[in-house]
Structure 1
Amino acid sequence: MTIETPKRLRIVIPVFNDWESLNILLRELDSVAPALPYRVVVSAVDDGSIQSSEGTLTSIEHLQALDKVEIVRLSTNVGHQRAIACGLCLACDTADMDAVLIMDSDGEDPPQTIPELLAATNGKKDFCVVGARRKRSENFTFRMSYIIYKNVFKAVTGKRIGHGNFSLLSSGYASRLVMLPDLWNNLAAALMRSRLPIQQVFIDRGTRYAGKSKMNFTSLIVHGFSAISVYADTIFVRLLLATLVGAGITVVASTTAILLRLFVPAYATPGWATTVTFSLIIIVLQAFFTSLTSLLSLLNNRVQRLILPIVDYKPYVRTVETIFSRTPSA
C-alpha cells in the first residue's frame, strides 16, 4: 500500500520593512490553511529591509496550521519585482512544492480569496491563475493613475493588463516562468508574455493591515515602465509603423502644398509651403531613424547574454532562515 504524500503549496511574499503587516498576514494565512488541500510553506523575501524583524513576528508563537515559515534574506534591496523573482526562483530550485502562490504582505491580496484561486484550477495538473482587481481601495489620485497606466499599456503594447502580483502557478508552469528574462522586470507582464494559459479570478482588493503604502506616484510610474519594457520589441515595431504612417501623411501634405503653390498661388503665402514641408520631413526622418535605431539595438541584444532569473538570482540570496516549523526534521 502506497501512502500518498500531501501536496505542498509555497507562498512567496516580498517584504521591505513591513514586518507588522507580515505578522498579521501570517496569522490570517494560518486561519485559512486548514481549508486548503495543501501543506502550506511561507517564504517571506526580505528585500534588504533596514528595519529588523526581531520582536515583530509574534504570531509565529501561535501558528497551528502552517507547515513552515522562512525568511529569505537578500543581500541588498533589489526592488519589489526582483524580490518576487528571487523568491520564485528559490522555490523552483528547492523543488519541494506542487504549487506556488505570489502575494503582497500588506493585506491588499486577501488570504481569504486563496480558495477561490485554487478552485479555478479545476483539478488540473498545470495551471496559472491570477487575481484580477474588481474593486480597489486606494485614494482617488492613485486609482486614476492606475487607470492611465492600464490605458497607456494597452495603447503601446496592444495588450490589456488587469492583474498584479497575486497569482497561483503549478510547479511546472513556475519552472517555465523562471527561465524568462522578462520575470526580472515585471511578474504580471512576464506572465502575459510567457504564453501560459492564464485563468482570471475577479477579487476585491483588501484593506492594508498597517502603515502606509510604499507605492507612491513615482513608484507607480517606474512600475508601469517596467511592465511596458517587457514588450519593448512590440513597442518599437509599432513606433516604426507609426513613423511610416507619418511619412505617408507628410508626402500627402507636401504634395498638397506644392500643388496649391503651383495652381492656386492666390491662396499660398510666400515661403510657407517650403517651411512646412521641410519641417515635417525633418520631424518624420528623426522619428524614423530613432525608432529604427532602437529596434536594431533591441534585436542586437538578443545575441547578447540575457538575464536568466533561475541562474542569476543566486548571488542576491544571502541566507534562508526558518523561523517556524511544525516538523523540525523538515
Structure 2
Amino acid sequence: MRMTFRWYGEGNDSVSLEQIKQIPGVEGLVWALHHRAAGEVWTEEEVMDVKKQADAHGFHLDVVESINVHEDIKLGLPSRDAYIENYKTSLRNVAKVGAKVVCFNFMPVFDWTRTDLFKEMEDGSTALFYEKAKVDQMNPYDLIEQTTTSGFTMPGWEPERLKTIEQSFDAYKQVDEEALWENLGYFLAEVLPVAEEEGIKMAIHPDDPPWSVFNLPRIITGEKAIERYLSISDSPAHCLTLCSGSLGANPENDVPTMIRRFHDRIAFAHIRNVRIYENGDFIETSHRSKDGSVPIDDVVKAYHENGFTGYARPDHGRHLWNEQCRPGYGLYDRALGIMHLWGLWDAYELVKRKEEANAHVAHS
C-alpha cells in the first residue's frame, strides 16, 4: 500500500506541503489543476509547475484526481469528440510528470452530494452529512449556496458547473442509465488506448452516494455495476478507484467482498468510514470501524491479504479542534486516519511474518 494525500494546490488549500511531509508514510500528492474547467487542456507548463512544488518536498505526482469529464461527453453530444481530444492531450501531459493513475468519475452534473458540510457530532467535531429526506424533497439549486461557505472551491461543485446547472438538468431529461453506460463506453474506447500508451491507469470513482439523486442517472453504484464496468475492456489501463465511503453509504454494498473480488483491478483506494442511519441518512466518521458502519479493519485486511501495492489515501475526514479548512479535507483527521490505516496494516504484516516463521519452523 502506497500512501498519498490529496492536496488542492497553493492558495487553494488550508494544508501546506510542509505539514503533509510530517505525516508518516505519505509519499505522494493526489493533485489536479483545479482552476481548469472540465474539457480544457491541462498544459505541460502548468503540470510542470506542480511538479516543481512537489519535488521541493520530496513527493511524487503518481495520482491525479481528477481530470474532470466534460458534461457533453456524458450526454453523448456531437461536441464530445473535441473534448475527448482535449482529454487525451491532458493525459499525455500529466504522464510527463510521472502520473500513473488518473481517478475520474462519470456522475452527471456534479459529484458528491451532502446536505450539511459541518454537522456537529457527539464529541463536538463536525463532518459531512447526508439527510435523505431533505434531498428527496429539496430543489437541487438549494444546495448551491452551501458550497461557497468554506471559501474554497469544492470538487464537483466548481463555479463553472454551477453557472450552467439548470441547462445541465434539462439536458439529462433525455439520458437514462443505459444511455449513460453507452456514453461511458464511447469515452473509454477513445481514451484507454492513449492511457495504455502512456502507462496510465484510468480508475473510475464510484458514485457518491451510490444511488440516483435529483432523478439524475447514476451507474457506478455497487458490485454488479463494477462487474459490468470492468467487463467493458480488458486493457491494463481500465481500472477502478474503490471508495469505501461512497460504496459503504449503501448497507447492501459489502466493501471487503468487493475488494477481494476486484483487487487486481483496483489502482487507487479511498479508505474512509460512514455511519448509516435506519432512515437512510449517513455521516462521515473517524476511520475506526466501531465509529461507523464500514468495517475498516476488514477493508484493510482485504487489501493486505491480496498483496495490494496500489495507491491509497484516507479520503475525507472530520473537522477537529476548530480547524478552518475545506469541508472534509482538513489536516488533523486525515492524518489520524492515515495512522489508523498504517496501524492496521502493520498489525496484519506482523501476523503474516509470524505465520511464515511458524510455517518455516514446521517445515524444517
What is the TM-score with the length of structure 2 in the denominator? 0.25
Q: Which has the larger radius of gyration?
A: 1
Q: Which has more helix, going by share of residues? A: 1
* TM-score normalized with structure 1 length: 0.27
Higher relative contact order (CA 8 A, sep 6+): 1
